[in-house]
């Protein structure tokens, strides 16, 4: 298969149209198929995604041409020369639907925010113990540790609010929100992975491990072709 399959498609369409002026062509913009080269190790293809449909209902058959006899019954009730009522509106609604990658990724980002809130609650419940641990690790006094942890808690609150706002913008089709959430997920993976290497495994660390996995899935979903295309065309 040639990589640029649009050339072959357009050649066939133009050949049919040049031979008969009664042929009508309907273009389904941004039509996508189930084929891509990543799963099946097949040939790489490049296409604009449009699907032309040839309408030959207005062509009159030549009486001198004898058609071959059908060998079996063909159950086909498709009518190509008529469109259903509100055809354009229906297509618009179908193609404006958000892809699963956007919806699932947005849900996972909300879940990650809940994990952050849960981690903060765990830290608040054992605040004196956490202060002592931080002071011993960093070699600072309790007041400095309290100030540092308070600033981190405030930053986490702002981060959760920003994530929720960005998810809302992403669902509306913002490409910048998608890239921002990818950056947040990448930063979270790096910082949380470093945090796991410090101290013993406890409830807070377990939440961090789960949060790392969630952010990795978010990165995979938001970097998919469907998510990128949905936000770029808005």
- Tens of pLDDT, residues 34-43: 455 554 556 6
Indicate the range of 12-21, 49-58, 124-133, 210-219 predicted with least confidence. Answer: 124-133
Instruction: Provide the token pair at 119.
Output: 């981690």
Q: What is the rounded distance in angstroms from the CA atom of residue 99 to the CA atom of residue 227?
A: 7
Tell me the pLDDT tens digit for each residue of 153-182: 888 888 888 889 998 888 888 888 888 888
**pLDDT score for 165:** 92
| Percent of the chain at pLDDT exceeding 70 | 71
Asked if the model's pLDDT at residue 111 lies above 60, the reply is: yes
pLDDT (tens digit per residue) in 61-107 = 777 766 665 444 444 444 445 555 555 555 455 445 677 888 888 88
Rounded to whole angstroms, the Cα distance separating 207 from 125 reads: 15
Instruction: Calculate mean pLDDT across residues 121-147.
Output: 74
| Phi (first) and psi of residue 60, to 5 degrees | -90, 135
The percentage of residues in the chain with a pLDDT greater than 90, rounded to a whole number, is: 1
pLDDT over threshold 80, residue 202: no
Q: The tokens of 4 are what?
A: 């640029």
Summary mean pLDDT of the chain: 75
Least confident of 91-95, 115-119, 180-184, 219-223: 91-95
Where does residue 108 rank: exposed (0-12), middle (13-18), buried (19+ CB within 10 A)? Answer: buried
Concatenating the DSSP letter of every residue in the chain gives --SBHHHHHHHHHHHHHHH-TT-EEEEETT---S--TTTS-----B----EEEEE-TTPPPPTTSPPPPPSS-------SS---TTHHHHHHHHHTSPPHHHHHHHHHHHHHHHHHHHHHHHHHHTHHHHHHHHHHHHT--HHHHHHHHHHHHHHHHHHHHHHHHHHHHHHTT-HHHHHHHHHHHHHHHHHHHHHHTSS---HHHHHHHHHHHHHHHHHHHHTSHHHHHHHHT-
């Amino acid at each position: 298969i040639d990589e640029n399959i649009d050339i072959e498609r357009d050649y066939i369409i133009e050949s049919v149209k040049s031979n008969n002026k009664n042929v009508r062509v309907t273009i389904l913009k941004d039509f996508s198929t189930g084929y891509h080269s990543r799963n099946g190790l097949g040939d790489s293809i490049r296409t604009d995604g449009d699907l032309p449909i040839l309408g030959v209902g207005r062509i009159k058959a030549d009486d001198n041409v004898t058609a071959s006899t059908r060998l079996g019954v063909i159950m086909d009730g498709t009518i190509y020369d008529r469109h259903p009522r509100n055809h354009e509106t229906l297509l618009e609604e179908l193609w404006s639907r958000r892809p699963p990658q956007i919806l699932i990724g947005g849900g996972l980002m909300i879940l990650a925010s809940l994990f952050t809130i849960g981690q903060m609650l765990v830290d608040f419940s054992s605040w004196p113990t956490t202060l002592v641990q931080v002071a011993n690790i960093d070699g600072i006094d309790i007041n400095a540790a309290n100030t540092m942890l308070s600033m981190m808690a405030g930053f986490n609150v702002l981060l959760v609010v920003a994530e929720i706002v960005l998810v809302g913008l992403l669902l509306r089709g913002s490409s910048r929100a998608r890239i921002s959430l990818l950056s947040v997920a990448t930063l979270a993976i790096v910082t949380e992975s470093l945090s796991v290497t410090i101290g013993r495994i406890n409830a807070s660390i377990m939440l961090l491990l789960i949060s790392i996995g969630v952010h990795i899935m978010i990165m995979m979903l938001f970097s998919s072709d469907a998510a990128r295309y949905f936000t770029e065309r808005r």
